[in-house]
Amino acid sequence: MKLTGAQIFWECLVRQGVKHVFGIPGGATLPIYDALPEFPIHHVLARQEQGAAHMANGYARVTGGVGVAIATSGPGATNLVTGIATAMMDSVPIVCFTGQVSSPLLGTDAFQEVDVTGITLPITKHNYLVTRPEDIAPAIREAFYLANSGRPGPVLVDITKDAQQKTCEFDWEGSEPHVAGYLPNYQPAESVYEQAVSMINAAKRPIILAGQGITLSGASKEVIELAEKAHVPMAMTLLGIGSIPASHPLNLGMMGMHGEAWVNKAIQESDLLLAFGMRFDDRVTGTVSTYAPNAKKIHIDIDPSEINKIVHVDISIISDLRPAVAKLNRGVQKSDHQEWIDFIEEMRAESKSRDILNIPDNDQLFVAHVIHDIWKYTEGNVVVVSDVGQHQMWEAQYYKHEHFRSLITSGGLGTMGFSTPTAIGAKIAQPEKEIWTIVGDGSFQMTLNELATIAQEKVKIVIAIMDNGYLGMVRQWQEMFYDKKYSATPLSSPDFVKLAEAYGLHGIHVNKRSEIQKAVEEARKAPGTVILDFHVVGEDSVYPMVPAGKPLDDMIQRPKNGN
C-alpha cells in the first residue's frame, strides 16, 4: 500500500488507538493537515501550542493513555517546550509531533527553522528527526512505546515537510519497535525482598511515602493491603494525592513544604520510610542532611536513576511498584502500631487547632473556605485540575480526594497557566466526568486564550478563579522573607464574568461564603462552561510552610489566633 508520509502519519495514529489530537497547523505541517479529513481522528484547535501540549497532558493523566499534540516548525515547536517540560517532570506520557522545513533546507536558517530536537533533548525521554517517509511509521510506533513504558514521559517526533509529501510503501508490521535494552528485566534478588520484609516487620514507627508511582502502576490495592496488614500510616506527595482515598484511616495527608505539620513531624520521628514511587523532591524533604535522621529507608521505583539520587537509602528495589509491593505483602507480618498512630494523632490535634476552617469568615472570603465548600457541595465527585501557587496548596489540603486520578496538577515544573488547557484535554478524554479547575487570577491570565477552544469545542468545565489581586505565592514569600516589599506582585485583572460572556460562556461573581453553595449548584447545572470568580482575601498565606534551607519539621505555622 503506497501512501504519502502525511497519510502514513495519520494511519499510524489510528492504529495506535488515537481518537483526539491537539494542535495548531502551520506551513511545515500543511501536508499532514491536508490528509487529516481522510481519517477518523478529531483535531482540537488550541489557541497556542503550549495549550495543546497541556491538553495532551490532561488527556493522558485522566485516562492513563498517551496524549498527542501537533505543532508547526519554528515558533510553533518552541511554544510546545514548556508543555513538554511539564510532562517530563511529572512522568506524563505524551507524544508531540512537529513539522520541520524540507530536508534540503536543514541547517540553513530557513524561514521558521529551529533545531527542536536539540532544544528538547533534555526534556524528552527521546526524540526523532524524520527526513524520509519510510521512517515515519517506525518513529511513531517507537515513540508511543517509549512514552508509556517504564517511567512514562514525553517523546517528540520532528518530521520534515518533504517527508510528509513523498510517497512510499506503508509497512505497519515491519515498523514494530525493537528497542534493545530499554526495558531490562529488573529482577531484584530474593534476598533484597527478604531484607525489606524483615525491616518492615521490625519497625516501630514506619511511614509509607505514597508517590505518583502508585497511580502510574495501578498499585493502590497492594499499597493499602500492606498499610493495613502492617498497620503503617501513609503520607502523600502532591502527585500521590488521589492514589489512596483521603478518608482511609491510615492516610495522614500531604507531606512537604506546605504539607500538614503532623505529617512532616511524623516523618522526622519515624524509624522506617517506605518510599513508594516517589523521588524525594526538594519540596518533600526540606534540608536533605536533616531529613528523617533516625529512619531506615526502603525505596521502590521503576527508574534506577532516582535511587540514591537525593536521599541515600538502605534498600532499593528497582521494579514496577505493583508487583514489588505484592511480593512484600506475602512476607509482611500483621502488626499493631497503635502507639505510633496515637502519637501522630496527638500532633494532628495540635495542628488542627490552627486550621483556618476554625476561623470565622466575618464577611471575608478565604480560599481555604472556598475549596472546602466546593469539596462539600460537589461531594468530592469531580476531577480537579489545579494550577500552580497558593491555591494549589490549599486545594491539596482542603479538597478530599477519594477517587483514583481525581487530582491533576503540575508538580515538578510548577507551570502557571497549566489548568485551563489541561482541563480541556481531560474533559475531551472523558466527557462523562465532571471537571473543575482551581486557578489563581495570575495563572488563569496566562492561558485564558483557551476559552476560545472551550467555546469552539463546546466542552463543559467549571473554572473556579481564586481572585486575590496578587501573584499570591510570590507575594507570600515577599511578606515572610522580604519585609513585605511587594515588588511586581500586585495584579490587575479584567472582569472575569464579562470575559466569560465575551466567549459565549457563563460567569458568576462570588463575594461572600454564603454565596458559594448557590454558585456551585448553578455552575454544575449549567449546560456549558462556567467561570466562578471568587473575590478572596488578598493577603492570606498558606500554612504550614517549611522555609527554604530548613529541616522538614522547622515549619512556620498559622498562629492559633488565626492572624
Q: What is the DSSP letter of 556?
A: B
- For residues 426-430, give the mean pLDDT: 98
Whole-angstrom distance, CA of residue 536 vs CA of residue 363 = 10
**H or E element that contains 23:** strand 20-23
pLDDT, one tens digit per residue, over 484-497 is: 999 999 999 999 99
Give the pLDDT score at 562. Answer: 54
CATH number at residue 205: 3.40.50.1220
In the chain, the N- to C-terminal Cα span, in Å, equals: 72
Known active-site residue 404: no
pLDDT, one tens digit per residue, over 532-546 is: 999 999 999 999 999
| Residue 53 scores a pLDDT above 70 | yes
Q: Which listed residue (7, 48, 88, 161) is catalytic?
A: 161
Give the pLDDT score at 82. Answer: 98
Phi, psi of 407 (to 5 degrees): -130, 125
| Same domain assignment for residues 207 and 342 | yes
Whole-angstrom distance, CA of residue 357 vs CA of residue 374 = 13
Is 121 part of any domain?
yes
Q: Which listed residue (473, 476, 545, 555) is catalytic?
A: 473
Write down which residue in 313, 333, 350 finishes a domain: 350
CB 246 within 8 A of CB 400: yes
Give the pLDDT score at 352. Answer: 84
Give the pLDDT score at 184. Answer: 64
Residue 116: name the closest of 56, 76, 57 by CA: 76
Is 179 part of any domain?
no
| Same domain assignment for residues 213 and 277 | yes
| Same domain assignment for residues 106 and 21 | yes
Whole-angstrom distance, CA of residue 506 vs CA of residue 498 = 9
Whole-angstrom distance, CA of residue 352 vs CA of residue 356 = 9
What is the residue whose three cell numbers read 510503501? 169
Strand boundaries in 302-393, DSSP class E: 315-318, 383-386
In terms of DSSP H, where are the helices of 300-366?
321-331, 338-352
| Residue 400 scores a pLDDT above 90 | yes
Is 197 part of any domain?
yes
Residue 395: name the closest of 415, 380, 416 by CA: 380
CB 45 within 8 A of CB 456: yes
Known active-site residue 11: no
- For residues 461-469, give the mean pLDDT: 98
Known active-site residue 236: no
2-4 and 167-169: which strand pairing?
antiparallel
| Same domain assignment for residues 304 and 405 | no
243 dihedral zone (left: phi>0; alpha: psi -120 to 50; beta): alpha
- Residue 547: pLDDT band by 50, 70, 90 thresholds? very high
| Residue 563 scores a pLDDT above 70 | no
Based on C-alpha coordinates, what's the Rg of the chain? 24
Residue 463: name the closest of 450, 478, 476, 475 by CA: 450
Q: Which listed residue (11, 49, 222, 269) is catalytic?
A: 49
Q: Which listed residue (38, 111, 309, 484) is catalytic?
A: 111
**H or E element that contains 509:** strand 506-510
Give the pLDDT score at 506. Answer: 98
Give the pLDDT score at 322. Answer: 97
| Same domain assignment for residues 344 and 364 | no
| Same domain assignment for residues 472 and 376 | yes
| Same domain assignment for residues 335 and 363 | no
Show the domain range for 461: 356-535
Whole-angstrom distance, CA of residue 532 vs CA of residue 364 = 17
- Number of independent structural domains in the chain: 3
Buried b (16+ CB within 10 A) or exposed e, 93-131: bbbbbbbbbbbeeeeeebebbbebbebbeebbbbbbbbb
**H or E element that contains 301:** strand 296-301
| Same domain assignment for residues 375 and 320 | no
Whole-angstrom distance, CA of residue 522 vs CA of residue 536 = 20
Is 326 part of any domain?
yes
pLDDT, one tens digit per residue, over 73-128 is: 999 999 999 999 999 999 999 999 999 999 999 999 999 999 999 999 999 999 99
Instruction: Say whether 316 sits in a helix, a strand or coil.
Output: strand
Strand boundaries in 418-461, DSSP class E: 435-440
Write down which residue in 171, 198, 225 finishes a domain: 171
| Residue 181 scores a pLDDT above 80 | no
Residue 196 Cα distances to 203, 269, 331, 384, 386, angstroms: 11, 20, 9, 36, 36
Buried b (16+ CB within 10 A) or exposed e, 348-376: beebeebbbeebeeeeebbbbbbbbbbbe
pLDDT, one tens digit per residue, over 239-266 is: 999 999 999 999 999 999 999 999 999 9
Is 87 part of any domain?
yes
Is 418 part of any domain?
yes
Residues 6+ apart with CB under 8 A from 4: 31, 35, 133, 164, 165, 166, 167
CATH number at residue 77: 3.40.50.970
| Same domain assignment for residues 293 and 436 | no
CB 523 within 8 A of CB 454: no
Write down which residue in 111, 141, 171 finishes a domain: 171
Give me the residues paired with residue 317 across strands. Answer: 300
Give the pLDDT score at 489. Answer: 98
Lowest mean pLDDT, pick from 196-210, 340-354, 371-385: 340-354
Is 183 part of any domain?
no
Give the pLDDT score at 351. Answer: 87
| Same domain assignment for residues 273 and 407 | no
> What percent of the chain is modeled with pLDDT above 90?
94
| Same domain assignment for residues 195 and 301 | yes
Whole-angstrom distance, CA of residue 91 vs CA of residue 89 = 6
By 3-state DSSP, what share of the chain in percent is helix, strand and coil, each rounded to 5?
Answer: 45, 15, 40
Q: Which listed residue (16, 19, 39, 112) is catalytic?
A: 112
| Residue 376 scores a pLDDT above 60 | yes
Is 123 part of any domain?
yes
**H or E element that contains 11:** helix 5-15
Give the Cβ contact number of residue 137 at 10 Å.
25
pTM of the model: 0.96
Angle at which helix 49-63 crosses helix 419-429, to 10 degrees, equals 50
Known active-site residue 376: no
- Residue 222: pLDDT band by 50, 70, 90 thresholds? very high
Known active-site residue 473: yes
pLDDT, one tens digit per residue, over 121-173 is: 999 999 999 999 999 999 999 999 999 999 999 999 999 999 999 999 999 99
Whole-angstrom distance, CA of residue 138 vs CA of residue 296 = 45
| Same domain assignment for residues 127 and 205 | no
Phi, psi of 435 (to 5 degrees): -115, 125
